[in-house]
């Protein structure tokens, strides 16, 4: 029986994520409502207004509404409304194929959920942790970044050693068996 090819499954890591909390924190830190954005060797602009965020990225101009959702102690949490009419408000919207929408509308999945085994998930976690620590593929354990606490770096280092051990253990088992 012939297998049906469903094509490539889109993953979150392949889409540009616009997180409202990060944008508002950066706008507060810089004191500007016009922010520059860089992703995969491409730059763009983000403008923040009272009720709207507009993204100009690689020839595409898209916008989304900002809603203030009430929280405890009479605080409000800013969330983005999905422009594709999906119900609910989201902290992050994704730009994929020139369209800004939530991950449900784009049918985005996490790469780790598509991994066939725990070993593959550990390998993905190892690569993600290496990128977070500022490491390169040829470096076993990256040096501690400035302003990173020693205990935190040591904890990340031990997690990296454990993930590396899982990966190499699986490789050894595959070569022996």
In the numeric block, the tokens 């999905």 are attached to 82
pLDDT at 5: 46
Average of per-residue pLDDT across 6-27? 84
Residue 2 in 3-state DSSP? coil
Residue 33 in 3-state DSSP? coil
Average of per-residue pLDDT across 6-24? 82
pTM: 0.72
Q: How far apart (Å, rounded) are the C-alpha atoms in residues 129 and 18?
A: 21
Q: How far apart (Å, rounded) are the C-alpha atoms in residues 103 and 11?
A: 9
Per-residue burial over 74-103, b = 16 or more CB atoms within 10 Å of its CB, e = otherwise: eeeebbbbbbeeeeebbebbbbbeeebbbb
**Cα–Cα separations (whole angstroms), residue 45 to 28, 100, 103:** 16, 14, 21
**Cα–Cα separations (whole angstroms), residue 73 to 79, 80, 90, 126:** 18, 21, 21, 39
In the numeric block, the tokens 């977070």 are attached to 132
What is the overall mean pLDDT for the chain? 85
User: Residue 74 above 60 pLDDT?
Assistant: yes
pLDDT at 145: 82
User: Residue 76 above 60 pLDDT?
Assistant: yes
pLDDT at 7: 54
């Amino acid at each position: 029986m012939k297998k049906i090819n469903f094509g490539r499954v889109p993953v979150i890591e392949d889409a540009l994520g616009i997180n409202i909390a990060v944008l508002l924190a950066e706008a507060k830190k810089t004191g500007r409502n016009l922010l520059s954005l860089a992703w995969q060797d491409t730059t763009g602009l983000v403008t923040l207004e009272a009720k709207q965020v507009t993204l100009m990225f690689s020839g595409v101009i898209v916008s989304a509404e900002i809603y203030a959702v009430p929280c405890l102690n009479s605080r409000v949490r800013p969330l983005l409304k999905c422009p594709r009419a999906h119900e609910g408000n989201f902290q992050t919207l994704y730009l994929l194929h020139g369209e800004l929408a939530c991950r449900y509308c784009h049918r985005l999945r996490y790469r780790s959920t598509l991994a066939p085994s725990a070993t593959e998930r550990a390998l993905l976690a190892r690569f993600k942790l290496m990128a977070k620590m500022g490491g390169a593929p040829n470096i076993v354990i990256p040096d501690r970044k400035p302003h990173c606490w020693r205990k935190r770096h040591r904890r990340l280092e031990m997690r990296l050693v454990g993930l590396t051990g899982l990966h190499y253990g699986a490789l050894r088992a595959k070569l022996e068996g």
